[in-house]
Structure 1
Amino acid sequence: MIRPVAFRMNEQTAVNNYFQEDLSLKNAEINQKAQQEFDAFVEKLRAVGVNVIVENDDSRLDTPDSIFPNNWISFHENGDVGLYPMFAENRRRERREEILIRLENEGFVINNIYDYTPAEDEGFFLEGTGSILMDRVNRKAYCALSPRADEELFIEFCEDFEYTPVIFIANQTVDGKRMPIYHTNVMMCLAENFCVICLDTIDDAKEKKNVLHHLKADGKEIITITEGQMHHFAGNMLQLQGTDDKFLIMSSAAHKSLNTQQVAAIEKHCKILSSNLHTIETCGGGSARCMMAEVFLPKE
């Protein structure tokens, strides 16, 4: 997780992240509030036994979205690392070699790096685990195509990492038009035995049927959310292992948006842990899941 130093509403991402909103606050105040939310969130994760590695952002880089590291990097069980091409130019500066060195110093093993970033020069993007939802057990990868998730790049990723691709388009209504949702992980969360998903965003009946087919074939319980709940980031969740229990991590806004039946369905499988991320969600257009880059690397 990256502690922000220059967090604000990123003007370069707002063009196709329809979740971002302007807060009438000075940037320094926005960053201070984001830091408070970040620190409280990390404390909650550590309190239940989640190992959180916090790296500070570099103030010289002016990277307003550095708090969302899952978009530029992914870590894999065999020691492979993926580096991803980013839509916004100012987000490309988030890729920092010293973070890989830090992980190696913490005892993690890095064997190979798959670098997809040259695609930026051609105008093609694939924003890490924002764009790609990996079912690491069943070796399937789900991707909602958008300006930030190129189909050919996604298929290349699936070939390199040996995943079966599940491709679809997920839309949201913006000013009366259906527009692609910028990241898959906003409308869908894959957990060990269940999936939280906003099926209403998949307008194509065949694509929706195909997604459901794959989820059901792998024995996932399907917990559906509405588009309204998705806009409270109820799709932007991540399941983590604590000391004694598994937890579904989400923001307070996402938690509050869920109804009794949805909460009960989740709690059959794991506990819920939520934290207030109001400033981060409003200005950044991302939530709890986006703030965590899961480290699956082997240890020495």
Structure 2
Amino acid sequence: MRPHITDTVVMVPPDDFAFNEQTARDNDFQHRDRNAAAVRERALAEAAAMVASLRAAGVQVLLLGKGLDTPPLPDAVFPNNWFSTWPDGRLQLYPMRTANRQAEVRPQALTALLQEAGFRVQRTTQLAAAPGQALEGTGALVFDHLSRRLFAARSERCDSELVQVHAAELGYQPVLFDTRASSGRPFYHSNVMLSIGERFALICPEALPNRAERAAVLAALTESGRELVELSLDQTEQGFCANLLQLQSRAGERLLVLSQTAFDHLSAAQRERLGRHGRLLPVAIPTIEAVGGGSARCMLAEVFLPRADDVAT
């Protein structure tokens, strides 16, 4: 059975971090800060501290540095949007919506990093997209690898046709749905209102305006035997509470990586329930959240590739 959690992630230092004008058009979580230099310095410090916390907890963190020939990449700190990795050795690339995010896609540099760390990249595949179509990786797609489903909230960054195509390629069942934030607009990414762990799921039912779709999503999550933890719209929008990721240490300890903001917005009862599925590991990333509009899960790209020393089966 395909693993659902990993002990290795790729992160990208926020060397060019700034308010992204191109993505702000549909991301209600972004907030402008005029002090660009201070913003960048705070973001660099937050990301470095997060890397240190993960490594101290036993997670292998691979850092993809900035290339000499790459343009400024204000959102590069969120690498999970442009690629995913798979146990069959595949590196999957995804079409990004904006030009300055398309420039983040650097498969050769990523492949070199992964292979240097002892992983096998056996092939690279690109999801074909027509002009204007986008499907932004594990931001747009929340995978349930155990039940072979992929959950996707329709948006400018999550094209329904591409979801269907990708699901068919993977042999997964697509679960598509509309979302509505308090602004009245769709959530820009699925993973800000839904997270699926090995034996639990975090979701904001208020974000699903269509009753039939809401029932279908909740049924798909619960029929796999997962514990369902429901979030309010305020916890989702103000706290980034759904934007967490379950990892494990190299020693096998289960971890739930979330921002300090998310931790503070969860109730004591919700923390206790989540704690049954792994040690909560809060990281303080307030600048990245406020200016970049993404949180802890967005900063982590999971590595599921086989290791070079694995015996072929």
TM-score band by shorter chain is over 0.9
Structure 2 Cα separation of the partners of residues 125 and 76 of structure 1: 20
Task: Please point out which of 80, 83, 88 is paired with 2:93.
Answer: 83
Counterpart check, 1:183 vs 2:194: no
Counterpart check, 1:112 vs 2:119: no
1:113 offset after TM fit, Å?
2.1
The answer (yes or no) to whether the contact 2:182–2:233 under 8 Å persists in 1 is no
Structure 1 Cα separation of the partners of residues 179 and 307 of structure 2: 37
| AA matched with 1:206 | A
RMSD: 1.1
Identity of aligned residues (%): 37
- Give the corresponding residue for 1:297: 305
Structure 2 Cα separation of the partners of residues 85 and 269 of structure 1: 33
User: Which is further off, 91-100 or 103-112?
Assistant: 103-112
3-state SS in 2 of match to 1:56: coil
- Give the corresponding residue for 2:278: 270
- Give the corresponding residue for 1:6: 16
Counterpart check, 1:128 vs 2:134: no
- Give the corresponding residue for 1:217: 223
3-state SS in 2 of match to 1:196: strand
1:23 offset after TM fit, Å?
1.8
| AA matched with 1:115 | Q
The answer (yes or no) to whether the contact 2:140–2:190 under 8 Å persists in 1 is yes
Query: What residue ranges of structure 1 are gaps of 5+ in the alignment?
Result: none
3-state SS in 1 of match to 2:62: coil
For residues 2-39 of structure 1, what are the alpha-carbon distances to aligned partners after superposition, in whole Å with 9 as ceiling and x for unaligned? 012110010000000000001231x2221111010000
- Give the corresponding residue for 1:93: 103
1:256 offset after TM fit, Å?
0.1
Counterpart check, 1:283 vs 2:291: yes
For residues 54-112 of structure 1, what are the alpha-carbon distances to aligned partners after superposition, in whole Å with 9 as ceiling and x for unaligned? 12223642100000000000001111121111111101110112111221222211223
| AA matched with 1:203 | P
1:114 offset after TM fit, Å?
2.1
- Give the corresponding residue for 2:241: 234
1:206 offset after TM fit, Å?
0.5
For residues 223-260 of structure 1, what are the alpha-carbon distances to aligned partners after superposition, in whole Å with 9 as ceiling and x for unaligned? 00111111111010000001342111000000000001
The answer (yes or no) to whether the contact 1:5–1:58 under 8 Å persists in 2 is no
| AA matched with 1:9 | F
3-state SS in 2 of match to 1:160: helix
The answer (yes or no) to whether the contact 1:144–1:183 under 8 Å persists in 2 is yes
- Give the corresponding residue for 1:73: 83
- Give the corresponding residue for 2:263: 255
Structure 1 Cα separation of the partners of residues 198 and 65 of structure 2: 30
Query: What residue ranges of structure 2 are gaps of 5+ in the alignment?
Result: 1-10, 309-313
- Give the corresponding residue for 2:155: 146
For residues 151-204 of structure 1, what are the alpha-carbon distances to aligned partners after superposition, in whole Å with 9 as ceiling and x for unaligned? 110111111111111111111021xxx211000000011001000111110010
The answer (yes or no) to whether the contact 1:4–1:57 under 8 Å persists in 2 is no
- Give the corresponding residue for 2:8: none
3-state SS in 2 of match to 1:279: helix
Structure 2 Cα separation of the partners of residues 128 and 61 of structure 1: 21
3-state SS in 2 of match to 1:20: coil
- Give the corresponding residue for 2:180: 171
For residues 96-154 of structure 1, what are the alpha-carbon distances to aligned partners after superposition, in whole Å with 9 as ceiling and x for unaligned? 121112212222112232202x52x5200000000001111221110011010001101
| AA matched with 1:202 | L
Matched residue count: 294
Structure 2 Cα separation of the partners of residues 81 and 56 of structure 1: 18
